[in-house]
Amino acid sequence: MPIFDIYISPDEPVYVISVVSKLVNLPIWTLRQLDKAGVVCPKRIGKKSRLYCLKEIKKLEYVHYLMDEKHVNIHGIKIILQTEVSE
């Protein structure tokens, strides 16, 4: 059986919202709210489909930690992420 080494750029949007929901353990409705608030910016395919890249998934893992462990709301998460980027 041949082994394929496939490289996918961390910026390449290839993960659909249902897969991302399972990977980061966040409900789809929460992912939609995070998108609406501008916390993450998945690429849109057509009017409804969202595709996430690996960088967005890593960010969502951190967002999940902030929400679940630190009880930070979406507005607070947005401020935290903006502060960390500007440092």
Residue 7 lies in a domain: no
- Domain range enclosing 64: 15-86
Residue 2 lies in a domain: no
Residue 36 lies in a domain: yes
Mean pLDDT by 10 residues, the chain (87 residues): 85 97 97 96 92 97 97 96 84
Q: What is the pTM of this model?
A: 0.89
| pLDDT at residue 85, as a whole number | 78
The 3-state secondary structure of 42-70 reads CEEECCCEEEECHHHHHHHHHHHHHHHCC
Gap between the Cα atoms of 82 and 63, Å rounded: 13
Q: What is the count of structural domains for the chain?
A: 1
